[in-house]
A and B are shown apart, each in its own frame.
Chain A
Amino acid sequence: MITVNLEPDGKVIELRRTRSVLGALNKLKLRSTMAIVVREDELLTADRKLYNGDTIMVRKVTSAG
């Protein structure tokens, strides 16, 4: 299971059967250039693998005023 801290919404989401950043973004209905993804202070590109127990921060980049 992957734990996602979604910003700026402030939500925590748990994703099952997700093995890559792209997979996580797809489940969150985000394109790869609509959010930055961070694991342990490291930026991740969409092709990076995720592992069971990972916690990632997904920060949407569209400013809303």
Chain B
Amino acid sequence: MKCQRCKKLACVALPSHHAGFCKDCYPLFFTRQVETAIRREKMFTHDDRILVALSGGKDSLALMLELKLQGYDVTGLHIDLGIPNSSEGARSKVEKFCDAHDLKLDVFEMEKWGLPIPDVKQYIDRPVCSICGKMKRHHFNRIAREGGYDAVATGHNLDDEVARLFANTLRWDTAYLSDQGPTLPAAEGFVRKVKPLFRLSEFETANYSFLKGIDIHSAPCPYSTGASFTNHKELWGELEFRSPGQKFQFYNGFMQRGKAAFANLEKETGATLHPCDTCGSPTSVGTCSVCRIKASVAVKKAEWLSESEYEAARARA
């Protein structure tokens, strides 16, 4: 296959674009897609301060590097989840990446905050992935708000967005369908959220990361085994193979023709938000779910520790 631009030997083939690119031209394709996303969705400008959520994976690191190369004022934020044999590796990759590219980085440690994710898994009887995601979104927003940032950018790609839209559609979750999109405008207590990679698939970000020599954290989270979004991505991978371009059509069609109906419905039935009694983050009830989970884990952990001490004392006697 030949490169569509320069006719050299292609190293990346993109069936959904009916195109192939060589190693020199592919980054230009990637850059154009990100530029288009930022411009069309009015994500941010060169005057804005942008906090970029960095997990250590290919998407977030590729996003950070690309935004820096495009001249944006970016600062990375990594959340150390405190998961043994996983979080140390992810954090190390992020720190080394930011050092190598002279990028600003903040690290927030869940353990120091009092709620490492292993405690959530042990003491809360709900899927840990959904709570972990909620915690991360909470802290991204809080830290961006407190730091005076104009936008929080995440590395969500087209596959992430399609899998999420598909899951929300399967449940007809009107609240989530009403605000899914590449740009979520700032609202009371919420900093603007943007997804500049939404036009690019995971395959496309993986190729970019490789060509840019980004050393990524690729090991899956030990807690994510069997997560439904992975199954949905596999289903969509097969659909995309049979009909290239279908992922973007599904997502773009929803944005253009479907989302407004759900947004209107949510305006009529949606909850009113107030600052959380404990942390000040927006919530529809008195205390936000993140603070409630934190308090619940603290109570259950204390009960478990006192029971363990009692059993140990009995064993000694």
| Residue B20 is within 8 A (CB to CB) of chain A in the complex | yes
Q: Is the CB of A32 within 8 A of B13?
A: yes
Smallest beta-carbon distance A5→chain B, Å: 12
Q: Is B234 in the interface zone, CB < 8 Å from A?
A: yes
Main secondary structure of the interface of A (DSSP, over half): loop
A-B contact pairs, 30 of them (CB 8 A): A8-B218, A31-B240, A32-B241, A33-B201, A33-B240, A34-B203, A36-B203, A36-B207, A36-B210, A38-B210, A43-B11, A43-B207, A43-B210, A44-B11, A45-B1, A45-B10, A45-B11, A45-B12, A47-B1, A59-B218, A61-B202, A61-B205, A62-B230, A63-B160, A63-B220, A64-B220, A64-B230, A65-B129, A65-B220, A65-B229
Q: With A47-B1, A65-B220 in contact, is A33–B237 under 8 Å at CB?
A: yes
Contact residues on A (Cβ < 8 Å of other chain), bracket: 20 to 34
Chain B residues lying within 8 Å of A46, measured Cβ to Cβ, are 13
* Residues 49-68 of B at the A interface (beta carbon under 8 Å): 57-59
- Interface size range of chain B in the complex: 35 or more
B221: Cβ under 8 A from any A Cβ: yes
**Residues in chain A near residue B220, CB distance under 8 A:** 8, 63-65
Cβ–Cβ < 8 Å partners of B148 in chain A: none
Q: Which residues of chain A have a CB within 8 Å of any CB of chain B?
A: 7-8, 31-34, 36, 38, 42-47, 59, 61-65
Question: Which residue among B59, B218, B224, B238 has the maximum number of chain A CB atoms within 10 Å of its CB?
Answer: B218
Minimum CB–CB distance for B297 against chain A, Å: 20
Q: Is B100 an interface residue (CB 8 A)?
A: no
